[in-house]
Structure 1
Amino acid sequence: MATAKIVYASMTGNNEEIAGIVEEELENYGYEVETTEVSQAMAEDFQDADICVVATYTYSDVGEGVLPDEAVDFFDDLKTLDLSGKVYGCCGSGDRFYDDFCTSVDDFDQAFAATGATKGAANVKIDLAPEADDIKALEKFCLDLKNKAQSL
């Protein structure tokens, strides 16, 4: 059975909800999905998955967007992996109030690209909690991931 691994960082619960939506959608496509909060996850776990997803927030510190503290070690470990043959996607929640809206989503995208994994879907950036249009975007995100994984 095809597998997917979702790792999320969530301060407000929004990214946990996003991860749940992605998990449910990938399960609907027949994937066996494991979802883990980032402080409990090991980047190496992505080596055992066909599809790798990160859902993260961006912490705004003195007007500059940075990775969540709990995700820094995971992020650093991710960049050292060889994930050739894997498909990845990045998504996350942020607040458009900040100039650095969802920059950690892009940071994880770059980290995955460095691993040799194949980008399977456009990044999805959600303002605060996911609403109906955001859920549709996440459904398309999952469809794109599935299609890319099947084409490899």
Structure 2
Amino acid sequence: MTLAKIVYASMTGNTEEIADIVAEAFEDLELEVEIDECTQVDAADFEEADICVVATYTYGDGDLPDEIVDFYEDLQEIDLSGKIFGVCGSGDTFYDDFCKSVDDFEAVFTEIGAKKGADSVKVDLAAEEDDIQRLEEFAKKLATAAE
């Protein structure tokens, strides 16, 4: 069975909700799903997964959340060649660097050999109905890429 591992960072609950939406979409596609908050896992745990997903918010002016910095740095040290990845997250369009943390994680996944399975999904604050549809499509594309 295909294993999708989702790691998230969330302060207000918006990004945790985004991660939950993606997890439910994977479950509907009959994938095995593991979902963890970023301080509870090691980046190396992605080595066991077929699909690697990070859901993160962006703090302030384009900064990674403090709680995911260690995970981000550790991720740069592993080899995920052949793994499928996807990144999603929340931000606030008020800021110039909207969802920059999503872009930062996408760049790292590419550097460590993972294959992008779907375009990143960026959500302005909380997920609305159209965002939910985009997140469900994101999960479907990742699942298809892992087949």
TM-score (norm 2): 0.98
Matched, 1:70 2:67: yes
Equivalent residues in 2 for 1:1-152 (5 A)?
Answer: 1-60=1-60, 64-150=61-147
Quote how far apart the aligned CAs of 1:26 are.
0.5
| Secondary structure in structure 2 of the residue aligned to 1:90 | strand
| Secondary structure in structure 2 of the residue aligned to 1:30 | coil
Structure 1 runs (4+) deviating above 6 angstroms are none
- Residue identity matched to 2:75: L
- In 2: Cα distance, 1:78 partner to 1:27 partner: 25
Quote how far apart the aligned CAs of 1:121 are.
0.4
Which consecutive residues of structure 1, in runs of 5 or more, have no partner in the other structure?
none
- In 2: Cα distance, 1:8 partner to 1:66 partner: 15
Quote how far apart the aligned CAs of 1:103 are.
0.1
- Residue identity matched to 1:149: A
- Residue identity matched to 1:3: L
- In 2: Cα distance, 1:37 partner to 1:146 partner: 22
* Count of aligned residue pairs for this structure pair: 147
Quote how far apart the aligned CAs of 1:126 are.
0.3
Q: Percent identity?
A: 62
- In 1: Cα distance, 2:31 partner to 2:75 partner: 22
- In 1: Cα distance, 2:58 partner to 2:47 partner: 25
Quote how far apart the aligned CAs of 1:80 are.
1.0
- Residue identity matched to 2:114: A
**Cα RMSD, aligned residues only:** 0.6
Which consecutive residues of structure 2, in runs of 5 or more, have no partner in the other structure?
none
Quote how far apart the aligned CAs of 1:140 are.
0.9
- Residue identity matched to 1:41: V
